[in-house]
Amino acid sequence: MTDYDVIVVGGGHNGLVCSAYLAKSGRKVLVLEANDVPGGAASTREFSPGYSVSGCANWLYQLNPDVVKDLGLRLDYAARDLDTIGLSPDGKHLTISGDVVTSDHLSAKDKAAFGPFQAKMVKFARLLNTAFKRRPPKLVENNIHDRMTLLKLGIDMKLLGKEDMQELLRMALINMYDVMQETFDDELLKSVLALEGVMGSHMGPRSPNTVFGYIYRRLGEVYGFHGPAQVKGGMGVIGTALASAATASGVEVRTGARVASINLKADSAQGVTLTDGTTLTATTVVSNADPKTTFEKLVGFRNIEAGTTRRVSNIRMKGNAAKLHLALDALPDFTGLSGDQLGQRLVIAPSMKYLENAFNHAKYGEFSQAPAMEISIPTVNDPDLAPSGKHVLSATIQFAPYELKAGWNDNKKLFEQICIDVLARYAPDIRSLITVSELLTPADLEAQYNMYGGHWHHGEISLDQIMMMRPFPGATQYATPVDNLYLCGAGAHPGGGVMGLAGRNAAREIIQRGKTA
Amino acid sequence: MKKYDAIVIGAGHNGLTNGAYLAKAGLDVLVVERNAYIGGATVSRELYPDWKYSNCSYVCSLLRPEITRDLELPRHGLQVVPYGGGVTYMENGDHFANYNEHDRQLREISRLSVRDANAYERYEADVMKQTRLIRPFLMRTPPDPTSLKPRDLKELAVLAKAFTEMGETGLADTLRFWTMSIGDYLDEYFETDVLKAHLAGSGIIGTALGVYSPGTAYVLLHHYMGDVDGTVGAWGFARGGMGAVSGALAAAFQGYGGEIRCDANVDQIIVKNGRATGVALKDGTELYADNIVSNLDPKRTFLDIMDAGDLPADVVRKAENFKIRGSSGKLNIALDGLPTFHGMDPKSPLMMGDMHFSDSLERMERAYDDWKDDTWSKDPYLDMLIPSQIDPTMAPPGKHMMTVFVQYAPPKINGRDWTSEDRDAFGKTVIDSIAKYSPDFKDLILHAEVRTPQDIENEVGLTEGNIFMGELTFDQLLFNRPFPGYAQYRGPVKGMYMCSSGSHPGGGVMAAPGANAAREILMDLKLTNTVPGGYADD
């Protein structure tokens, strides 16, 4: 008799989603979270007394509506469908709201081209959704479920129409730089969009695959988000809301419980041992941790065969994004922006060349000398995140490689200053307003959120690491080479972003296999 | 007024191959060539008295053996002499020797890393698996995945069968191989930088991408899938230079009754009532034929010698968006003697193979960064050979001919044309790079031809000087080459065809596009096929 039917290692959003579905199927489920609060990278971080920001992801923009409905989630939004404002040092900004782009200096051609471009990308994202809401199909050893998925994908492809289908085959493989050059004239517009193709990845606008990255982020539009949404209380509220939903379904969520190892017996997962020495047993172990942490640290390479070890080692997941958190005495004055615009998504990526140069450094283990940024001033829409009248600023910074050649310990302050210098180019008074600052490097994100390499997608989202190749060939469909051990995190199909689909799909797979067993 | 059955535009190796198979079927075929000499990028040119320069393509492996044997190219004078091995000189004075002989090669890799020597066996087997998968499709017309025609469905099934035979994980490995970067791929196997750098060259040659750009692993395949006399992956020199290939093809073509006209620069493909009917030359001459075959790259074909009014709008747009970027240049050098290299025995077999001077992936990636910044690499990747050691016809006795492939070089410098000062500086960069490893090299130089992508475009007609007539990335391969919907060699206008490397299976002196296009033309004309099928040796 085991202690639990299922133990889920890690209470990130996917782990919690997975546990809730499994509990609803009548299983006795325990979630073990190392941190003191559930949610993993969906976190609210009080980086200075009274000042809070979303510690990892800034916004919610692609949470799957089925997950919301099935789990009965109720989320309070401080703001929805935010605009994206591309900043220009001279104040000549451009604003993207949904499928409309406005700016004083944009050509009529660009304005007219934007809507159809965006619509095409969303159309492709819809096809992606067909694949994403199911387990990745096996192409050779497939069964009826896989064949249904392939058939559905085939039909959806056909329904795109010949022209768009051909366009998809071409575009999914190429880079944002080329597509932007083909489609638009305005450099700022091109680079603001190009940044979306490279967010969170080790890629520049010229890297093939980045159009796929852009389409991936358009899933939000398919799920009813017409721009990022800001959750009231920060992203951590998602963690607590999911934990409550899981608990309501009968899940036991234990925080402050760090798993030291996943225990095997005869190549089959039997349970886990916590760092405090407690050993718990279960019929099934589901890991919400990334595949490298799961196999290298928790299962242990010595317990699995060499081929699997090699495949796990080869997963590319070195984080390249840092987070900058600032406590501010007052709202900064961004050149050319009015007060209410400060609550939108602000982007620093003045040109594709700037972005590419920023990436060049990362290739050689250096941080960008002029980094690109995605900025949120959440207190504009949600004043409770800071003391009255004060503000916080939270920026995602690219590029900052996990393995900095010169070492992060000696260079963290320097990079923080570079980031603030870049900000000051757009908001000249910002330096005088900063009371507390914090930079989280990928190494810090790794330590804080237990993500290998500090990679928030738990593995690069590139064409060689998606679908049946995610997390690695031989471990597709959430099952792994270790019996009774499943993956439910972003490292599994369909990948990162607060979407909830990896957790949901993994639960469905476990339930399905339980029926046939 | 004479009317041919077919006119082929461009006497490059694919145009001649195409013409040969059409003529073999009994058609009256004319090949028109802009230059005074045939061959396109497959030439031997005497630009310095008594020296022959293979001044574009310089080595031979991809030429399909089916075509070599079927057109009896050896009888027409083609002899391919294999060479083996290669070396990468390192900045620390050492060099990595890539011997052709397996045991010796493993001993050399073990010197650097025993782990890598073990991994090399795995690497070779894995890459060979991918090579074997692709080879049978080189001489087949790609299916149109959006079509429901019986032939397309059948060809798709053949493709699907080959892929599913790889097995579930094998297929996933193939998909990864086709989409990942050569740098990442090599990182999965090896820890030694110089070994990775030595192997990575094949992933970027002719490609405007860096070693860490996704898609470059496939390009590697394009340098492995050829053979010399059945030895898959081997490379050789065409005796007498690459012009021997086009010379033999031309002889075969003429043997079937074909006609070649040089100094015939096509201005326009004549289209009447939605049908190609002939070509108008720049000198005003009009030539007529029932079928017009373009051996020019897709951009030149659709944007230069065809009228947008004669074409569907999507073809013009697709041609504009076609990726054909110049990324490489070339130096051809006449030498007064054989240069010596630091630490290298002049009698070593390594002297007869490819020589490289980039000993790390980082140096190669930085060379690409220069290209992205619209200038030539300050520390370029070089593929250098001295073919006169093996083929004495290339230079007078005791003298030598050196061919240096240089990457990266952009089609334009900071958006403007190359000047002669730029070209000189580019040539100096390359010569200095080699001289660092060869003390007597500079003194031996009698003549050097420096070719920028712009020179290659102007002389050979390859847009931007792209040697493959379009990048070999997955978005432009198989049924996507040159663009979706037009991968079966038929143009958008009746009676108009494409036979260049811009079509499947792509660039390299392979002759497969020319042969495949001929098969489609003969099928449309309801004539007996003269093009051999792919060998079953895979």
Segments making up each domain of chain B, as ranges: 3-43+59-79+239-322+469-524
- Note the pLDDT of residue B84: 82
- For residue B236, give the H/E element and its range: strand B235-238
- Note the pLDDT of residue B222: 86
Answer for the pair B79, B248: CB distance below 8 angstroms, yes or no: no
Residue with token string 């996917």:
A14
Chain A interface disruption, residue of B118, B179, B211, most A CBs within 10 A: B179
Answer for the pair B156, B149: CB distance below 8 angstroms, yes or no: no
Chain A interface disruption, residue of B175, B186, B191, most A CBs within 10 A: B175
- The CATH number corresponding to B3-43+59-79+239-322+469-524 among 3.40.50.10610, 3.40.50.720, 1.10.8.10, 3.50.50.60 equals 3.50.50.60
Residues of chain B with pLDDT under 50: none
Q: How far apart (Å, rounded) are the C-alpha atoms in residues B354 and B346?
A: 14
- Note the pLDDT of residue B99: 93
pLDDT of residue A517 exceeding 60, the answer is no
- Note the pLDDT of residue B382: 98
Strand order in the sheet with A391-398: A100-102, A94-97, A84-86, A345-348, A372-376, A391-398, A321-328, A434-440
A463:B163 CB<8 A: no
- Note the pLDDT of residue B231: 85
pLDDT in tens, A181-214: 999 999 999 999 999 999 999 999 999 999 999 9
Confidence of residue A488 (pLDDT cuts 50, 70, 90): very high
- For residue B215, give the H/E element and its range: none
Of the partner residues B168, B180, B480, the one whose CB lies closest to the CB of residue A140: B168
- Note the pLDDT of residue B148: 86
Average pLDDT over residues A126-142: 93
Q: Is A178 on the interface with B (CB under 8 A)?
A: yes
pLDDT of residue A414 exceeding 80, the answer is yes
Of the partner residues A166, A208, A316, the one whose CB lies closest to the CB of residue B213: A208
Q: Is A162 on the interface with B (CB under 8 A)?
A: yes
Q: Which of residues 138-177 of B touch A (CB under 8 A)?
A: 145-146, 163-164, 166-169, 171-173, 175-176
Average pLDDT over residues A299-321: 95
Nearest CA in chain A to B179: A464
Tokens of A207: 């890297």
Q: Which segments of B113-191 does DSSP mark as H helices, in order?
A: 114-134, 150-164, 168-179, 182-187
Average pLDDT over residues A359-368: 97
Per the DSSP assignment, residues forming a β-bridge with A344 are: none
Q: How far apart (Å, rounded) are the C-alpha atoms in residues B282 and B216?
A: 39
Q: How far apart (Å, rounded) are the C-alpha atoms in residues A187 and B406?
A: 32
Residue with token string 């000198």:
B283
Confidence of residue A340 (pLDDT cuts 50, 70, 90): confident
A360:B369 CB<8 A: yes
Average pLDDT over residues A403-407: 96
Name the DSSP letter for residue A95: E
C-alpha triplet A440, A441, A447: angle, nearest 5°: 80
Q: 0.80 cut: is pTM over it?
A: yes
Tokens of B412: 């334009």
- Residue ranges and CATH numbers for the domains of chain A are 4-42+235-315+451-516 (3.50.50.60), 106-222 (no CATH), 317-449 (3.90.660)
**Considering only CB atoms, which chain B residues are within 8 Å of A364?**
362, 365-366
- Note the pLDDT of residue A195: 98
Of the partner residues B171, B473, B485, the one whose CB lies closest to the CB of residue A139: B171
A473:B173 CB<8 A: yes
- Note the pLDDT of residue B147: 84
pLDDT of residue A516 exceeding 70, the answer is no
Answer for the pair B297, B11: CB distance below 8 angstroms, yes or no: no
Answer for the pair A397, A437: CB distance below 8 angstroms, yes or no: no
Mean pLDDT of the residues in chain A: 96
